[in-house]
Chain A
Amino acid sequence: MSDPIIVFDGVTKQYGEKRAVDNLNLTIREGETCVLIGPSGCGKTTSLRMINRLVEPSSGHILISGKPTDGVPAEQLRRQIGYVIQGVGLFEHMTVAQNVGIVPRLVGWPQHRIDARVDELLALVGLDPAVNRNKYPRQLSGGEQQRVGVARALAADPPILLMDEPFGALDPITRERLQDELLRIQRVVRKTIVFVTHDIQEALKLADRIAIMRSGRLIQYDTPEAILWRPADEFVREFVGNDRVIKALGLIPVERVMEPASGNGSGRPGPAPTVATGATPATVPATATLRDALSAVILNGLADTAVVDGEGVVVGWIRREQLLATLAEFPVREVAS
């Protein structure tokens, strides 16, 4: 297990009579993606903004790498923490390159180093530097703007990235694509990410750990699997939804129930059209989850279903008996543990 990098130590934020955050104790580990989630007004954004001191705690301390955040000037602290927000907040009078280069400029990098870093980051977030470097934010789509926002936050290579509902304003397709991109980028950069969202699906997809908050209090802090299988209380159970077991299946790779195709069984599938309709049987991509597999199996009238790779070649089979046996084990293994 990696080291703690951000520690909330009895942090409270009081606005007049209201406690936005109430005695929060939370440890976020290095290289993990921690998603803060909860209904509006639960204190998730306030908690995030206290990390880079855009909001100052009323009491308690936040430690980063063991040092209290109020030990250095706020500006200096913030330059070492990437920050991405919902409205993106790109500076419209600056080019993409100037936007990405802000923090390096603030901390005094030489221009040639900034230029090289900007191109490197634009490529990382999937934007061709030659095409986009000199564009202005208004010339970009919402999704492209948010990519630039992520590149900008990574510019000075901060160990921590704060993301406040970064994909909240995007259409569902763009949002999903950017979530995939973030997972890919995170595999490359291995930052500690603190991510605020109100979308449980997004949280389940991105998080190593999810912190569920309600009325300023931390209700449950656990892995996505644990939250779905073992919700701490009625509130969490309701928050994750009645289909939580189905959602949990969405976190399990299809290999768990797949019987690998034997040597001469591979090649073109040709599963017999046992489905009553006579339509071509549904198949499951090898990268899919158990949830997708279940969907295909149901479509096939619970008949054996082929798992295929990117080229459509069968790599394995989902057998009804195996599937049912695996599903039957879950309550014993996951819920009870």
Chain B
Amino acid sequence: MRIVRLVGSAAAAIILLGVFFLLEDLHARILLAIWPQYPHALPFQGGSMWQMGVRMVQLVLLSTLLCTAVGIPLGIVATRPRFREEWAPIVDSLVNAGQTIPSLAVVALALPLLGFGFVPALVAMVLYGLLPVLRNTAVALESVDRAQLDAGRGMGMTPGQLLWMVELPHSIPVVLAGIRTSAVLNVGVATLAGLIGAGGFGAAIVHGIDLRVPPLVWYGAVPTALLAVILDFFLRRLEEILTPKGLRLQAHRDG
């Protein structure tokens, strides 16, 4: 049942995106109609909408997957009693630093260290998108009801069982919200990745800004915005579907 709803939402999101790519020609015509003074701006020479889109989705999916794969375990480790005292301040300062440095700066900083291209862009995106996942995982685990932890421990759960059976299920909604934040952020950073030659819709935007050609900027910006909205929609659905039923219910009121 859950799987069906999950596959359904994913399919809806992919179809929506696919339709847009197929309407590439229409998109270009509309933009040219709005800015008739730039008749030769489109089609974009740097790649078709489809090529840019595939690269964009690659960047966002890969970086979000990596953020999740690294952020959740780090969040778990940072909240274990053994490490909490030493790690919590480090995680805190990392989160604060990450939120302070603008994404443009992260991309710019990656350039001298890693050069141009796909991999450096990916590294910059993971560095930037890691923080929401890590922070939300840590916050979610810290906010599990004390009484439930006490009960679990008192019934003889090992720390591992407590994590799997109690802490993680309770953290699902907040962790997923962190992944969603990270994914949507990554769409934005992926656009900036166009600056260091990673391709994607950013290529059209950067090019458009260089040449001062608005339709070219829009040619990249519209699908970027659409991608962010669709991704956000899909991940919100995912949160609803994956949140355990018992946590979605309203609390009972006595009297």
Contact = CB atoms under 8 A, between A and B. Distances in A.
Given A75-B158, A136-B245, A142 B151 contact: no
A78 B158 CA distance: 10
A74 B254 CA distance: 37
Interface residues of B, number: 28
Contacts of B249: 136, 138-139
A95 B147 contact: no
Contacts of A138: 246, 249-252
B17 interface: no
Contact of B155 (A83, A86, A87, A88): A83
Task: Categorize the interface residue count of chain A.
Answer: 35 or more
Contacts of A77: 156
Nearest to A152: B155
Nearest to A74: B156
Contacts of B157: 75, 102, 106
Interface string B207-245: 000000000000000000000000000000000000011
B146 interface: yes
A86 B148 CA distance: 11
Contact of B150 (A75, A85, A142, A171): A85
Interface in B149-168: 149-158, 161, 165-166
Nearest to B169: A93
Contacts of A102: 152, 155, 157, 165
A244 B114 CA distance: 81
Contact of A92 (B146, B152, B155, B246): B246
B125 to A, nearest CB: 32
B148 A91 contact: yes
Nearest to B159: A75
Contacts, number: 92
Given A78-B156, A79-B156, A87-B145, A141 B252 contact: yes
Given A93-B169, A93-B247, A142 B254 contact: yes
Nearest to A143: B254
Interface in B111-151: 145-151
Contacts of B155: 78-79, 83, 102-103, 106, 152-153
Main secondary structure on B side of the interface with A: helix
B156 A106 contact: yes
A153 B152 CA distance: 11
Interface in A58-97: 74-79, 83, 85-95
A123 interface: no
Nearest to A75: B156
B252 A78 contact: no
A327 interface: no
Given A85-B147, A136-B246, A92 B153 contact: no
Interface string A133-163: 0001111111100000100110000000010
Nearest to B158: A75
Contact of A93 (B151, B153, B156, B246): B246
Contacts of B252: 138-141
Contacts of A272: none
A230 to B, nearest CB: 35
Contacts of A79: 155-156
A171 B169 contact: no
A140 B252 CA distance: 6
B180 interface: no
A186 to B, nearest CB: 20
Nearest to A94: B246
28 contacts: A75-B156, A75-B157, A76-B156, A77-B156, A83-B151, A83-B154, A83-B155, A85-B147, A85-B150, A85-B154, A86-B147, A87-B147, A87-B150, A88-B147, A89-B151, A90-B151, A91-B246, A92-B145, A93-B170, A93-B244, A93-B247, A102-B165, A103-B156, A136-B245, A137-B246, A138-B246, A141-B254, A152-B155
Interface of A: 52, 54, 74-79, 83, 85-95, 102-103, 106, 136-143, 149, 152-153, 162, 171
Given A89-B148, A141-B252, 20 more contacts: A54-B154, A75-B157, A78-B155, A79-B155, A79-B156, A85-B147, A87-B151, A89-B149, A89-B150, A91-B151, A91-B152, A91-B169, A91-B246, A92-B145, A95-B246, A102-B152, A102-B165, A103-B156, A139-B249, A149-B151
